[in-house]
Each structure stands twice: as C-alpha cells, then as structure tokens.
Structure 1
Amino acid sequence: MTVQTVRARMSPLVMVAMILAVSMSFIDQTIVAIASPDLQRDLSLTRAEGEWVINAYLVALAATFALGGRIADAWGRRTMVTVGVAGFAVSSALCGATPDTSWAETWLISARVAQGIFAAVLMPAAIAIVYGSTPAERRGRSMAMFFGLTGAFTALGPILGNYLLEWSWRTIFWINLPVAAAALVTIAVAPIEQDRGNRRIDWLGAVIVAAGMALSVVGFSQAADWGWSSAMTWGCLVAGAALLTLFVVVERRRPVPLVRLDIFRLRGFRVDSAVLFFVMIAFVPVSYFLSVYANVSLGMDAAGASHLLLLFFLGFLIAAQAGGHIFDARGAKQTMLLGCVVGIAGFAWWATQVTTLDAADQHHPLLLAGAGIGFLLGPASADAVSRARDASYGEVTGINQTVRNYGSALGFALLGTLATHVFTNRFSASLREAGLGRDAAEELARDVAAGGSGGSGASSAPARVREAVERAVAEDFAEGIRAVLIAMAVALAVAFVIALRHPGDRPAREDATAPPQPTTVDQN
C-alpha cells in the first residue's frame, strides 16, 4: 500500500479534525456581528468601539498569520493546531467574562486580539494539513469541501446567535468551549504527521509587518472620528505605509525571511493573491454591515438579521461546491471570473434594493451576492497554494491568508468610514430639512453616528422633529449601506480585471513531501 493511498484513506478523519479546529474562528465571523447591536448597548460602546470589537480580531489575524505559518513549519503543524485551539478557547472565555465597567472596551478588545493571534497560529497549520494530506488530483474538491464546510460553520453563526442571544451576548463566546473540546479530542486521534522542521523564525519581520498592518488599519478606521485633516489619521497611515515598505526591504535581506517575496514573481500566485485581497473586502465585512442595517433601518431583532445573513451564506455554500468542480475540471481562472461577475451583479442589485427598507426585497440579491463569493473563494485559495512549488505549505498558506485577512481588516476600516461619512452627511441634511439649524443638525448627526445602535441619539432631538428624525435615521443609514455595497461591487470589479491576467493553467503539487524545486522568474 502506498503512502498516497494511506493518505487518501486517512483524509476524512483529518478533514473532520481540521474543520472542527478552525470552525470557531469561522463561526466568530458572523456570530459576533449578529450580537454587535446587543453587545454595544449592554456595554455602552460607541459605533467605533463596536466596530473595533470585530476589527481587532481581523487585524490581529492578518498581522500574525504569516508568522503562524512559519511557526507551524518550525514547531510542527499538529502541535500548533492544538496550541491554537486551546488558546482560542481561553481567549473566548475571557471575551465572555468581560466586566460591565468603564474598562469593558479595553478588556474585550484585548481578548479579541488574543483570539486573532491564536486563530493565526492554528489556521495556517490546519489548512496546510488538509492540503498536504490529499492526493493532487482531489485537492480542488478537498479544498472546496474544506472551505464549503467551514463556510457552513460561518452560516451557523446567525442560527446560533439568534438562539444564544435569548440568554446573553456573552454566550456567543462561551459556545466556543465545547467546540474546542471536541476539536482537541479529534486532533488527538487523527493520523496527522507532525512534520516538524529546524527552521528559523524571522521575529523582527513579524514585529514590523504586524505594526505596519495595525497602524494602516487604525488610520483608515479612525478617520471618521479623527477627520481626514487630523495629524493622527495621516500619522498612522504614513507610519503604516513606511513600516510595510521597511518590511519589504528587510525581508529581501534576511537569510530566512518571514515571507519569501520571490513567490510573488509567479504570475499565477500574484494574481490569485490580488484577487483574494479585493474579494475579502466584499466578503467578511458583509456580516457586520448587514446585521446593523437590519437593526437600524429595518427594525429587526437578531432573529431577522440572522435570516438575512443565512440567505447570503446559502448562496455561498451552493456555489462553493460548484466552484470546486469547475476548478478541478478547468482551473481557477474561469471560476474566478464567473464568481466576480456573479458577485458584482449581486452586490449591485442589492445596492438598488437596500433603500426600499423592505426585507423581502433583499432576499434574491443576497443569494446572488453570496454565490459570487462562493464560486471563487476556495478555488483561488487552492490555486495560490499549489503554485508555490519551492515553499512549504505552512509558509504559503500563511502568505495567502495574510493577504486575505489584511484585505478583510482594511476593507472593514474603509467601509466603516465610508458608511459613517455618507450617513452623517445625509442625516445632517435631513435634520436641516426638518427645521434644525446647521450647527444643531451637524452636532446631532455626529452624536447619532457615534452612537452605534442607530437611533440612540435621536432621543436628544427636539420633540417637534423627533418623529422625522427617527424616520431619517433608518432612511439615511440605508443610504450609507448602499454606498458600502457599491464599494463592494467595485472591489469585485477590480478583482475581475486582475483575474483576466491569470495564466489559466492548472498547476498541481504532486506530493506534500516532495523536495523543493527552484523558483524561476515569471513562471505561471
């Protein structure tokens, strides 16, 4: 019996173990978004603080993912998956234990950062294990199954959130504890090779890239509050760009860099990474903006928001399976182009319906938008990993996921700033039309925008205009979400243009243990 045959037979148990391991992080992408309105009200958080509860996780995940890939290669994938699951569970318990005090924001955001770091430890190792344990001819379907099933856990977030929020928002974090226990048991019995190597880790590069990513996201995220003329806004943006530039310079000179930049000389890998960066701008932030829109503009509770989000992920899951078959048969280019076109149509259609303030009008656009993302996400990720023939799986998945998560975090920051800017301007104009003076209108608009829960600031409006103010909050917030959806469609349009540059072939790594091959410039 060959090693390949053994791997093929072992892969189902390995698949179950790895899906359970990463499921917590995927559930968190939606369940925290669903709980965001309740969480903000209970802890008296502002809109910006509520957004940071979500984006702190994304920033930490993006900033440490490449390091997580390197650590998995150096210290063993199985070990790091175990450490990551255990650490994620502990930090989840700390999130749920957030005290209702003046320092609740600091506690919760710090615990969310810890969640992101431990997710960055476990996820590159888990993805590398799934990819490396599957024969080359089945990797497209295996990766589609992996991302599809983990996507199912993402879709499970709204269902769990709706149920758990009947008790408390804290339970959305505590639910990770039994999942972690099941994951640790399954990892212990799954036939996973350790694959530990004596590889050096570039700690300096890890610190530089983490600081650069964090500062750039902080600058874009806080621009709505600090203003674009603020020295703090531009200081963060310039410092972040400078650090990321320094990272490139340092990595080119390191004997064992954190990120092997020569991998980006491969055109196919470069195109896959750029497509994923722009796609993630449209994908991950959807959960948060849809949840807040359902609460503020449609007047829905968590159950109603969960229903809408499930429609998005239903389209995603169906298309993910079809995308995997297309990838195996024809390669990544066609499914990426198809996914971009379907996604553009879905988000553009949704943008035309979001201002009707009718939940039923959102259903079909949500399905189509989710399908667009589902078609391309798994194939683009699998294709990127398969192209870097001279790099380890942990390293390549670390790079791939760093690009994805940085796109998510940066997109979340930019879209949040855009939504706030559009809402504040529209709402201020609505208040002036209702009879308020310019100064009073602008002050009230800023208060409501900062409130996070939508109409919380409307109670401070004069009684004679309060009804008009409450109506304007719903309508003008929908205009802000419309701008967000248009921006998401534009991001997918950019991804489509980039995908046209894909070479269109179907490279495959024949064996996970094959010796490295030299990289040549401008390969596919």
Structure 2
Amino acid sequence: MSTNGAGSGRKGLVLAAMIFAVAMTFIDQTIVSIAAPTIQTKLGLSGTGMQWAINAYLLAMAALFAFGGRLSDTLGHRRTVIAGVIIFAGASALCGATPTGALAQSWIITFRALQGLGGAVMYPAALAIVVNTYELRERGKALALFFGIAGGLTAVGPILGGYLTQWTWRGIFWVNIPVALVALVLIWMSKPETRFRPAPIDYRGLVLIASGVALSVFGFQQSHVWGWSNPAIGLSIAAGALLLVLFFRYERGRTSPLMDVRIFSNRAFAVQCLVLGLCMAVFLPMFFFASEYASISLGQNAQQAGLTLLYFFGGFVVTAQIGGRMLDRVGAKRPVVAGAVIAAAGFYLWASRMTDLDLSKLTWFIVLAGAGMGLMISPSNTDAVNRASSLSYGEATGITMTVRNYASSLSLAVLGTVLISVFQSRLADTFAQEPHTTRAQADAMAAAATHGSSSGGSGSGGTVPRPIALDFAHAAQVVFYIMAGLMAVAAVVALVGLRGGVQAPEAESESAAEGVQTA
C-alpha cells in the first residue's frame, strides 16, 4: 500500500528529484571508460590500475546494493537517498581532484569505490520513494518515466565523456556535482514522506553477501585479463558462490535479516528476478560490445559510437512509456513477454546484418532491439518491487539490483571470452592466407593481436583493415546471436512463469505496521 506521502500535487516533483538523484549512477556506468586512455596518461596509471579505476565503482555497487536497500527501509528512504547523493557527489569531487604522482592510483580507485557505495545506498532508496509516492495503479506510468530517462542516460555517458575530456578529464567527475545539487534542491522542495521500520542491521549477513558478490564479480571481471585457465578465477568465483549459499541459509533463520529471502517464495517476484537477470545479461554487455563493433568494424570514434547507440535508446525510451501504461492497465505479463520477443527479434536481425559493415542496414534493427527492451524492463522491475510490503520496497530493490549486476558481470565475462575466441580463430584464418605464413605463425599472430582487444571502452575509431574489421564483425555477430537467444529464453520464462492480469493491492496488516515511522 502506497503512503502517497508527497501528495498528488507534488508527485511529479518527487519523481524529478529521484531521477536527478540516480542520473549520476547511470552516467557513471559508461562515462569513465571513454576517458580512460586520457586519465591513464595524465595520471601515469598502470593498465591494471586504470582497469580498477573503472571496476572499483561497479564492484562496490554490486556488492552493497542489498545493504543499501535494507538501510533505506530501516533508517528512512528520504534521509538515505540524501546521504547517498552527498556521498556520491563528494566522492566524484575527490575523483576529479586526484593528484598526480605516486598517490594517484590508490586515490582514484578508493574514491571510485566510494562512488559505488553512494550509488548502492542511493538507488534503492530513490526507487522506494517513487514506489511509495504512487498508488499501485499509477506506478507503471511513473516508473516507466523513471527507468526510461535513467536508462537512456547510459547512452549519454560516452557522448558527454567525449566532450568533457576535450576540456579536462576531471570534468567527467565534476559534472556530477551540479546534478547532485539539483537533486538535493528538488528533494528539499518536494519533501517526500515514506514509511519505514527501524531495525538493527544484520552485519554478519552484510559481510557474507558483500564478500560473496564481490568475489564472484571480481572473478568474472578478471577472467579476460588473467584468462579462464588461471586457477585464481575459478577459486574466486567458487568462493563467492559458496558465501552466497551460506548467506541464503544464514538469513532464513534470522528474525531481522539483511535480506528476507522468503520473498523468493513469491512466484511472481522470483520469475521477474530471473527475467531481469536474463535481460541484464544482455542490456549492459550490449553497450560494451556494440561500442567495440562500432569502433573496430565501422571505424567510428567514441562520440560517433555513442551517437549510434542513441538509436537503441530512441526505441527504448518510447516503448518504456507504453510498457508502463500496459502494466497499469493489463498487468506485467503482456508487456514483458511482448518486449522480450521483440528484443529477441531485434538482436537477431541486428546480428544478421553486422557483417555487412554498413550502419544504414542496422539502424532499424537497433531501434527494434531497444524498443523490445524498453517495453519489458520497467514493467518487470516494477512488478517485482510491487510484490514486497510497502515497508520493504528498498530491500526488494536491493535484491533486484544485485541480481541485475551479478547477471551483467557474468554475461560480460562469458560473452567477452566468446568474442575473443571467435575473433582470434577468424584472424588466424586470415593471417594464414598471407604468403609464407605457417599456421603456427598465424595462430601466434592472432593471439598477439587479440590480447587485450576487449579491455574496455570503444576505441579511437582509427582505420582498421577491412579483413580484420570483418573478422571482428563475425565475432560480434556470434555474441549478438547469443543475446537474441537470451531474450528468447526470457520470453519463455515470462510466458510460462507469470500470471496474467493486474496485481491487486494488498492491505497492510496491523501487526505489520507496528513500530512504523514516517519521514
């Protein structure tokens, strides 16, 4: 049951405040990768150090989302989102102020991790405020706008990063400060009120889930650097998985758990988490691989690659609004199933024409893939959160965001391995056709050429020989066919697992309301 604490006249203001708050987290998912070469040169960072300046943010956020969700439900959503905005903006300012010299590498990695903490605290609280502000029948439309704009900002990162870097690389961090100030002013003006229940924080559970997610994601992130044959990768992922199993077992016996794992007994919530996992295994990796394809196969620079991805978000933003209205009118099943089917078709057709090396033949398929994703993501996420008690919206958001980030990390590692493997094989075939080149020499040349080829961010758009551009296009094509398959699986899961119809509002019991506060 929504508290509707902001009042009908202020709902739009509350929504705007929360969009500005989370805008920083979405922009920062992609903006730093574009400026990475400049940052590395200016600060004298090692390749590993620069990689961790990127990964520390994503790793901290993934590991702490569950904590952020629980914190917002126990301390109050408004004060938690304010704290998250301040932490994020402060860490951004300090990242931008990174000194040159020996201290630079540890400084920027530390404060990038602090940015991740701010995002993990802020995002679940912001979404909980939006959900609490709108009644059940209005949430689809409101959250479609929330996810549509916030998701579209992922594409803004490369474009904005490219322009800011021409001024100074520090600007990619400092740009968060005015956004944070606008968010804080809007929060002060709208004064959103939501209910919460003070409770002790389960720190043992926090250590288990944070360590489990961090170790697993670390293993996935490092797999393309160290290689899957390195035993440290398998040990890291296995240890993380074991800790997550222990966390699940530990939480079942707690009276005040960090995560009430019983929510997974709700069929709709569990199914939507699986759908979101499959969807996010495509969404964020798509950005990376599409940028690499645009750079290597199409010869685009970073700004051009970012503009190409706006085709995707053009379709995404429009259908996100349609999906939200469908959720309010007919429930989640139709938009989620239809969106997954459309996305599967879009990614399949996109993949089928990648080897033409012609952007004009891809444009409408890119739009179609974005339209499918936009139609389903908001209804799926909203329906999952709606299944929680009004006192647990932050916790439910923390769970869904943990699932989303975990799936993205796993998919990026696996698909990255597939991309490099196929690219290396085709390159070897190409090199072997050169006169006086043995197969062994061709294999060695291909291995050297592909080492670190997917190290992050799109390239500079320099001229790549057409045979090599075509070889990379074939590798990317395989990855995008897999993405189409994942979306097809998501469609089947939603079709079989979800029930049709609009969710009925659930009355809050008196016992559940004991100890509840409003702020």
User: TM-score w.r.t. structure 2 length?
Assistant: 0.88
Stretch deviating more after TM superposition (255-264 or 391-400): 391-400
CA distance in 2, matches of 1:87, 1:195: 23
SS at match of 2:353: helix
Give runs of aligned pairs for residues 77-96 of structure 1, distance below 5 A.
77-96=77-96
Tell me what 2:182 maps to.
182
Tell me what 1:506 maps to.
502
- Are the counterparts in 2 of residues 22 and 122 from structure 1 also a CA contact under 8 Å? yes
CA distance in 2, matches of 1:503, 1:203: 36
1:229-260 deviation per Cα after TM superposition (whole angstroms, max 9, x unaligned): 33212211221221111111111122211111
- Are the counterparts in 2 of residues 267 and 503 from structure 1 also a CA contact under 8 Å? no
Q: How many residues align?
A: 503
- Are the counterparts in 1 of residues 132 and 194 from structure 2 also a CA contact under 8 Å? no
CA distance in 2, matches of 1:50, 1:31: 14
CA distance in 1, matches of 2:100, 2:448: 23
CA distance in 2, matches of 1:488, 1:103: 41
**Amino acid of the structure 1 residue aligned with 2:470:** E
SS at match of 1:259: coil
SS at match of 2:503: coil
User: 2:450 aligned with 1:449, yes or no?
Assistant: yes
CA distance in 1, matches of 2:344, 2:52: 27
Tell me what 2:234 maps to.
234
1:388-426 deviation per Cα after TM superposition (whole angstroms, max 9, x unaligned): 247521111211222122222222222222222222232
SS at match of 1:299: coil
CA shift in 2, pair 1:515/1:247, >3 Å: same
Give runs of aligned pairs for residues 24-103 of structure 1, distance below 5 A.
24-35=24-35, 53-98=53-98
CA shift in 2, pair 1:49/1:282, >3 Å: farther
- Are the counterparts in 1 of residues 6 and 190 from structure 2 also a CA contact under 8 Å? no
CA distance in 2, matches of 1:66, 1:3: 23
Tell me what 1:146 maps to.
146
User: 2:496 aligned with 1:495, yes or no?
Assistant: no
In angstroms, what is the RMSD of aligned CA positions? Answer: 2.9
1:485-514 deviation per Cα after TM superposition (whole angstroms, max 9, x unaligned): 122112212211210211223224467998
CA shift in 2, pair 1:438/1:498, >3 Å: same
Stretch deviating more after TM superposition (478-487 or 505-514): 505-514
CA shift in 2, pair 1:441/1:205, >3 Å: farther
**Amino acid of the structure 1 residue aligned with 2:488:** A
**Amino acid of the structure 1 residue aligned with 2:469:** A
**Amino acid of the structure 2 residue aligned with 1:19:** I
CA shift in 2, pair 1:71/1:297, >3 Å: same
CA distance in 1, matches of 2:360, 2:135: 44
Tell me what 1:192 maps to.
192
**Amino acid of the structure 2 residue aligned with 1:448:** A
CA shift in 2, pair 1:369/1:265, >3 Å: same
Superposition deviation, residue 383 in structure 1 = 0.6
Superposition deviation, residue 330 in structure 1 = 0.9
Stretch deviating more after TM superposition (197-206 or 167-176): 167-176
Tell me what 2:23 maps to.
23
CA distance in 1, matches of 2:46, 2:375: 36
- Are the counterparts in 1 of residues 331 and 500 from structure 2 also a CA contact under 8 Å? yes
1:41-64 deviation per Cα after TM superposition (whole angstroms, max 9, x unaligned): 767889887665544433322211
1:131-163 deviation per Cα after TM superposition (whole angstroms, max 9, x unaligned): 101122211111112112223433433442343
CA distance in 1, matches of 2:71, 2:33: 30
CA distance in 1, matches of 2:107, 2:481: 35
Give runs of aligned pairs for residues 352-431 of structure 1, distance below 5 A.
352-389=352-389, 392-431=392-431
**Amino acid of the structure 1 residue aligned with 2:486:** A
1:72-111 deviation per Cα after TM superposition (whole angstroms, max 9, x unaligned): 1222211111111111112223433456668766554443
- Are the counterparts in 2 of residues 58 and 409 from structure 1 also a CA contact under 8 Å? no
Tell me what 1:314 maps to.
314
CA distance in 2, matches of 1:354, 1:385: 37
CA distance in 2, matches of 1:511, 1:159: 46
Tell me what 2:134 maps to.
134
- Are the counterparts in 2 of residues 141 and 325 from structure 1 also a CA contact under 8 Å? yes
- Are the counterparts in 2 of residues 136 and 511 from structure 1 also a CA contact under 8 Å? no
Stretch deviating more after TM superposition (439-448 or 313-322): 439-448
Tell me what 1:486 maps to.
481
CA distance in 2, matches of 1:453, 1:90: 31
Superposition deviation, residue 342 in structure 1 = 0.7
- Are the counterparts in 2 of residues 73 and 196 from structure 1 also a CA contact under 8 Å? yes
Give runs of aligned pairs for residues 155-304 of structure 1, distance below 5 A.
155-193=155-193, 195-304=195-304
Stretch deviating more after TM superposition (501-510 or 201-210): 501-510
**Amino acid of the structure 2 residue aligned with 1:493:** A
Stretch deviating more after TM superposition (359-368 or 444-453): 444-453
CA distance in 2, matches of 1:378, 1:344: 17
User: TM-score w.r.t. structure 1 length?
Assistant: 0.87
CA shift in 2, pair 1:261/1:416, >3 Å: same
Superposition deviation, residue 451 in structure 1 = 4.2
Identity fraction in percent: 45
CA distance in 1, matches of 2:425, 2:99: 35
SS at match of 2:380: helix
